[in-house]
Structure 1
Amino acid sequence: MAIITISREMGTGAYAIAKELAKKLKYTLVDRVKIEELAPSYGLTTEILERVDEKPPSYRTAEDRLQAAYLSTMELILLESARKGNVILYGRGGQDLIEGLDNVVKVRFVAPFEDRVEKFAEREWIDPELARDLIRKSDHQLGGFIHFYFNRDWNDPLAYDIMFNTTRISQSAMIDCVMAAVKDPRLKESEEESMALLEDIILAKRVQVEILRSSSVRILQSRITAEDGVVTISGHVQSEEEIEEALRLARTVDGVADAESTLDVISFKPTKD
């Protein structure tokens, strides 16, 4: 069946809905708990996840690029989980990571701010003022992450297939609606083509991780795509040697048949703040 992605505002109760939906559909919920479970096999620790999870990366220094590599590695967990099928990708820009796939139901949960404050304060047994501050900061962080990293407005309704106001709709009704949506035969018809595209996305992400981990390639801005095992790297570097190294690294990744470059060399030195 279709892949489900969930975008949520803090305090909407989306997590409880996602867990129940996964149970009813017999789907795997790829949330923070699942990511932490799989992280060691990808070379990630809980401390690393805490630093990069849903936080926009920077690319100015070698340390910045390493943090970006960790984030891309975490994204591999989501992508390779999606490849197995029957999954719910919870947050973390899941729908943007698999952009272009047609067998996806993109769901968003929202609610009025004060309703979210009340629900969150009751659930966590905390002062409403503290709940209000935490939710405000969460909205800024999550919305900022999507805007910075994926260049998308988090609140754009056209980015989603279904939006629920959790104050107005019951949990059971929302679950029934999503369950009906994933069974749409049009999603099944596009599954084979979508899975082929997902393989290309995964391969490109693996190459991105290798390049970001390298201290010899300082790509200032890049876009990596893959098609039938051929990887194309575009963007800007600071020397011809870096282009050759980027291509060499790409060709070491399992599944890469060849690598091509449209990288441009520019003269750039970051200023000190």
Structure 2
Amino acid sequence: MPVIAMTQEMGSLAKDVSVELAQSLGLRIVRHEIAEHVANRMHVPQSLIGRLREGKAGLVERLTTDQRSVALYTAEELYDLADRGDVVLRGWGATCLLRPVPHIVSVRITRSMRKRVEWLMRDLETDDAEFAEAEIRRSDQAHASRMHEQFGVTWGDPLLYDLVLNTDRISVRSCVEQISLLVRRPEFAETAESRALLSGMALAARVKVALKDHPATRAISITVEATSGRITMRGIVLDDEERTQAESVAADVAGVTDVDNQLKLMSSTRRFASSKQT
């Protein structure tokens, strides 16, 4: 059940590589469906999610959109898709989110700015090279900011990927062949351990979303881990009621068989300070 996570740099030919790769290996391609999922869960227009991702959203949209929810719903969908397998996931931070899973291949497709500008000019049917370059740099900056904010990494760092391919020098067909070879290598064979790890990450993501969606727990920020259906929750909550409610919400998530509630109560002095801030 191959899973390939790829980058989505504008004009890099990553889309062409992903399409041919999916056809060659019999995989699904998922990208825009994630925007639809996130928009539906947040009850906002899909176009808003696209603008936020591409750095085109206005100040009011950025300030009024719950970015934590965007990240949680995105992670939930990516983990679920990866858990089902046989898929190419392009963009959406998939290369970072899925990096810990040994059998998932993480690939960056890149290209020189000059070639990317030429590609965008053809795509937009314009001769304005300055405009095309500005669009690409704006898109790159949006991706770099999001990767740093969500994962604390430098976008483009080669150590984040198993394979970096430059389409200035390598054809789309050659990229597909190289990725296909890597997918078949024993280093990326799916094992019971790697499968369990991915399933646990997917379950933990569902629990985090459930906590975010429930009125009584949506404000808490805690760590959630899952192993073989057992959920472990760590962090600080306001009081016993919030602690109990968090456990109840987690226990109701499909796939959860047990909850290890290690949540601690906020100290009285911190609780008093918190109440004064509201």
Fold in common (TM above 0.5): yes
Give the whole-Å Cα distance in 2 for the aligned partners of 1:152 and 1:90.
18
Q: How does 1:203-222 map to 2 (within 5 A)?
A: 203-217=203-217, 219=219, 221-222=221-222
1:196-246 deviation per Cα after TM superposition (whole angstroms, max 9, x unaligned): 111111111110001111232255543211012111122333333222221
Deviation at 1:105, TM superposition (A): 1.1
Residue type at the aligned position of 1:143: A
Deviation at 1:271, TM superposition (A): 10
Residue type at the aligned position of 2:248: R
State, as a whole percentage, how many aligned pairs show the same letter: 29
- In the other structure, the counterpart of 2:105 is 105
TM-score normalized by the length of structure 1: 0.84
In structure 2, relative to structure 1, the CA distance for the partners of 1:154 and 1:36 (3 Å cut) is closer
Q: How does 1:8-19 map to 2 (within 5 A)?
A: 8-19=8-19
**Higher mean C-alpha deviation, range 13-22 or range 234-243:** 234-243
Give the whole-Å Cα distance in 2 for the aligned partners of 1:238 and 1:228.
29
Deviation at 1:49, TM superposition (A): 6.9
In structure 2, relative to structure 1, the CA distance for the partners of 1:51 and 1:271 (3 Å cut) is farther
Q: How does 1:151-230 map to 2 (within 5 A)?
A: 151-188=152-189, 190-217=190-217, 219=219, 221-230=221-230
**Higher mean C-alpha deviation, range 153-162 or range 93-102:** 93-102
Give the whole-Å Cα distance in 2 for the aligned partners of 1:270 and 1:158.
44
Q: How does 1:132-151 map to 2 (within 5 A)?
A: 132-151=133-152
- In the other structure, the counterpart of 2:85 is 85
In structure 2, relative to structure 1, the CA distance for the partners of 1:208 and 1:171 (3 Å cut) is same
Give the whole-Å Cα distance in 2 for the aligned partners of 1:51 and 1:117.
25
Pairs aligned (count):
262
Local SS of the residue matching 1:8: coil
- In the other structure, the counterpart of 2:232 is 232
Residue type at the aligned position of 2:73: T
1:22 paired to 2:22? yes
TM-score normalized by the length of structure 2: 0.82
Residue type at the aligned position of 1:174: C
Q: Which has the larger radius of gyration?
A: 2
- How large is the RMSD of aligned CA atoms in angstroms? 2.9
1:117-169 deviation per Cα after TM superposition (whole angstroms, max 9, x unaligned): 22212222233222122111111111111111122222211110110122121
Give the whole-Å Cα distance in 1 for the aligned partners of 2:49 and 2:232.
29
Residue type at the aligned position of 2:82: A
- In the other structure, the counterpart of 1:60 is none
